[in-house]
Structures are given as C-alpha cells and as structure tokens.
Structure 1
Amino acid sequence: MTAAVPQPETETEPASVPAPEPEPGPTPPPLLEAEGLSLVGPEGPVFTDVSFAVEPGRVTLLVGPAGTGRSSLLLALSGRMQGTTGLLRHHGRPVRSRRDLRNLRRASAVARAAELVVPEARLSVAESVAERALLDGVRPAAAERAFVAAEELLDVRLDRTLLVEQLPAYEVTALCVALALVRPAELVVLDDLDADLDLTDQRRLLDALVRLAGGSTGTGGTAGPAVVATSTEARATHPDALLVPLAPPQEDR
C-alpha cells in the first residue's frame, strides 16, 4: 500500500478590496454673492436689500421694471459703483477695499449699462472692435479672433462696414456682448436684454448667452464667463438661467 504523499500548502490570495472613494473636496464659493446689497443716491434709495449668488458658467437674469436700480446694480456687481451697503463677495472674499473693487473690475466686462456703456452710434462695427481693443489693452489680431468666436456663439455675422446705428436691434445687442468678450473675463454684465427685441429675439439672445456661459466655444468644454443680464419682464426664460426678481427700492422708515 503506497503512503499518501503530503501536498505542499498553497497560499490563497485575499480577495481584492476596492479602494475607498475619495472624499469630495470643499464646494467652491460662488463667483459673486450679494447679501442685503443696497445703494442710496442723492434722490433716495436706488436698490435695497438685494441678495442672490452668481455661479460660474451660468446666466443670471435680474428682472424688474424701471426704477428698480437694474443698471446701478450691474455696475455694483462689476466693481464700478461705490457707496453700496450690505455685503458683496467675490470668490468668497468680501469686496471692501479699493483693491477689491479693482480686482472685480479686472475680472468683469460690461457689455451695456444704460447710457454709460454703449457702442458709439456713428462708428462702424470694425471701428467699434478696434476702439474696444484699444480701451481694453488687447492686440488687434487677438481682439478680432475673440470677436469672431463671440459672433459664432451669438449666431450673427456682423457686417464690419456698417455703422452701429444701421444695425438691427438684435445685432446691436450682439455687438455689445461680442465687444465685451474682446478681453477675457469671468463675468459679463448686460443691461436691458429685452431692449427693442421681440419675444423671438429675446429667446434667441438668452439661448446664446446660456451657450456662452456654458463654454460652448470648442475649447475643451471649459466654462465660459458668468453672465448677469437685466430685463424689464421675464417673457423669455431658460431652464439653465437663474431668475432674480427685483422689487422697487424701499424708503427707510
């Protein structure tokens, strides 16, 4: 009878344990946060107790009738209006000092703001691009490339030879936005989105602004600038745009 030969013991490998999921990092703050933002001018309150957040790569639409301080609020959000009370944060940092305001101005671009920032009616489109490039310190070739990219997003091709006053209303607003994009910015503000536009063009423009903010520029999917626009009515809406109603300013009692 043959004795059984003992077999060598074999080591069994332990079952692989999946690596733990990495813990999510802290949520970055909004691009801008307004908390109780107010402004009082020589003739009384301009806007009072405004609170909302502006997220990167999103469109925020401020809606209110005349007298709600829309234009002044846009200037305050872009660092171009002093004398506000309440709190404004830029990337989580309170905007208080002159340096803070200067940093906010550098990070933002004004497409249109009442009669303060508008294209010169008697300039041609080409002259308007050249003027904006000069004001923003951008080389002409780089400004033209940025302008053309903005035209594509805004679904227009502007005739460079036409005067601004010869353009249809949609093209005037598109020109304002495209000029603001000549210099890279993380925030673009546009006053009176609905100025002289029918509902179809308002929707067309809002869709274009959402594309712009979402970064649909063929540059790898990076987010575009946040856009804050004003309108007198919320006739044109978009599921990806935040709607912020503005109330008339309240007198202190």
Structure 2
Amino acid sequence: MDSPHGAAVKAEGFGLKGPRGWVFQDIAIDAAPGSLLAVEGPSGSGRTCLLLALTGRMKPTAGHAEIGRHRLPKKMAAVRRIAALGPVPGVNDLDQALTVAEQLREGAMLQRRYDAPVRALLRPRGAHAPAPARVRIEQALAAVGLDPATLPKGLRTSVRDLERLEAIRLSVAIALLGGPRLLALDDLDLKLSDAERAEAWALLRSVAARGTTVLAVCSEAPADVTAVRTGPQTPPAAAAPSLTEKDADTEAADTGTSTGTGTGTDTDDEDTKGADDALAETGRA
C-alpha cells in the first residue's frame, strides 16, 4: 500500500464545553507527521469526544487545532477528508450480521462513494474494473496483519465470530482503504489481555512507521508512546448523587444557569451536529 504522508497534529487551548461543564479543556498537542499519539484517561473523561473533535467530527468550543495545516474548527470538512476512523464504538461499529468479506467490500464501496471523483460515480454499473478494490483490500489486510487463512472460515467468517483483536485489525484495515493521513481509534485496550494489548500497540506502531499519523484512545499508554491525558476538570462528584442534587442539576440546565455554556440549546445543537457528522462519515446516517 502506498504510504500516505501523515498529518501533523497540533492543538492549543483546545476544549469542548457542554451543558454541564467542560468535556475536555486546555489540550495542548504538537505531534509530527507519522507520530503515534495516545489519548489517555479513564472512561468518561472526554477522551472519545477529543478524538472526534480532532478528526473533524465534533465541533470544539475553545482554542484551536491544526490537522495537516487544516485549522479547526473552521476546516472540519477538510479534516474529515484526511482523517479516518478505526473502531469507535457507537459511531462506526462493524456489522455483526456480515462476513469479513462483505464488511471489507462495504468499506471499499463507501470509500469509493465518498472519496471518488464525481465522474467516477457517473459510470454505468459494471463499467469499472473491481481489481483495484481487491488490491487495496489485500494490501490493507497485510498492513494490519490480518491473514484470512487464520480465520475459522476465511473471508466467509462472520464478523460476530471474530476475537476482539481480530475485529480491531479488520476495522483498521477498512480505515486504511482510503489512504488517510490520520488514523484515529477508540478504546484500544478494552477487553484485551496483556499479550493482546502489546500486539495492538505493535500494530499501531507499524501503521505509523508506514507514514500515517495514529491517534489512539486508551486507559493507559505504553511508556514509549507520547500521551495526552484527559480527566475531570472539577472535583469528582459523589458516586450516587442525591435526588435533590439531580433535581438541582436539571433545574440549572433548564434555566441555563449551570456551569455549562449558559444557553444549553446552542451546545446541544452543536453536539447533535457533531454526532450527525460522525454517523455521516460511516454512510449510515
């Protein structure tokens, strides 16, 4: 596979504020093209939202970032064109009803649909040769170390029967079909053994070594991986808020007097737009 030139990732004072306060804030990044960068933090610390914001799929509300010279939030569409999502639960999940071959074909078809020149979309059915897609799929599988011969039924293996690490490799392969300059994936170390986690990081190192900048969300990054940490910006709330506290939060949100934006409605619209952008990227919106 041709090695795309990775996109530099820079951010300064980057933040996102919602109705209940900061989702993440004051993020500073300066990663060179072809870097492997981790977004590290506990679940619920805003790390997924940061990933979506850095890939142009969620609109930030503070500071700025540059992805391959495209400045956020102004150039979100341009960033989406050069940044591909690997596995991000709830955004581009693999279809459990498909086989591996069907999932790969669907990924190649969507890539062609959204990235091909307009004239290519106007060709009559059957007028284009499928060979280039097959070659790209074979190259992507090789790049992620997913050998169909090792699967129970080869390419006819159901996606639902894949092990967690195999599913990660498949998702990354699909993301690489379009030759992105930035690859981003969520929950890398979720439900992986120590040995599998080491394999997953080795996979990402190999992708970065080929020239693609990689951004991975995790609970804890290896010592040799540059990490940006997310976390709560206010003291942790009680594990089980009282009914009075919940009612106070609800009332504050309704009146726009919470520690959020003070308007509520505008932020909700922005968050919804960001989610819609994320789903649109998968072709399932």
Which position in structure 1 is the counterpart of 2:96?
121
2:199 to 186, 197, 204: 204
Which position in structure 2 is the counterpart of 1:156?
146
Partner SS state of residue 120, structure 1: coil
The one-character-per-residue Cα deviations of 1:143-193 (angstroms, maximum 9, x if unpaired) are 332332232232221331111110011101111101101111100001011
Which position in structure 2 is the counterpart of 1:171?
166
Distance 2:130 2:90 in 1: 26
Contact kept? 1:33, 1:92, Cα under 8 Å: no
C-alpha displacement of 1:195: 1.8
Distance 2:104 2:233 in 1: 37
Distance 1:225 1:44 in 2: 34
Structure 1 gap ranges (5+)? 1-29, 216-223
Distance 2:136 2:230 in 1: 33
Distance 1:37 1:156, change over 3 A: same
C-alpha displacement of 1:131: 1.2
Contact kept? 2:35, 2:208, Cα under 8 Å: yes
Q: Which of structures 1 and 2 has the bigger CA Rg? A: 1
Distance 1:204 1:171 in 2: 11
Distance 1:136 1:249 in 2: 38
Letter in 1 for 2:18: G
The more displaced of 151-160 and 67-76 is 151-160
**Which structure shows the bigger proportion of residues in helix conformation?**
2
The percent of aligned pairs where both chains have the same amino acid is: 31
C-alpha displacement of 1:227: 0.5
Give the alignment's TM-score, normalised by structure 2: 0.68
Distance 1:191 1:178, change over 3 A: same
Partner SS state of residue 47, structure 1: strand
Residue 145 of structure 1 pairs with residue 135 of structure 2: yes
Which position in structure 2 is the counterpart of 1:188?
183
Contact kept? 1:143, 1:183, Cα under 8 Å: no
C-alpha displacement of 1:51: 1.1
Contact kept? 1:154, 1:205, Cα under 8 Å: no
Runs of 4+ in structure 1 displaced over 6 angstroms? Answer: none
C-alpha displacement of 1:238: 6.0
Distance 1:200 1:180, change over 3 A: same
Partner SS state of residue 136, structure 1: helix
The one-character-per-residue Cα deviations of 1:193-236 (angstroms, maximum 9, x if unpaired) are 11211111111111121111111xxxxxxxx21000011123xx
Contact kept? 2:60, 2:73, Cα under 8 Å: no
Residue 227 of structure 1 pairs with residue 227 of structure 2: no
Which structure has the higher relative contact order (CA within 8 Å, separation 6+)?
2
Contact kept? 1:75, 1:113, Cα under 8 Å: no
Which position in structure 1 is the counterpart of 2:228?
244
Residue 53 of structure 1 pairs with residue 53 of structure 2: no
Number of aligned residue pairs: give it: 211
Partner SS state of residue 204, structure 1: helix
Contact kept? 1:54, 1:60, Cα under 8 Å: yes
Aligned CA-pair RMSD: 2.1
Distance 1:68 1:107 in 2: 26
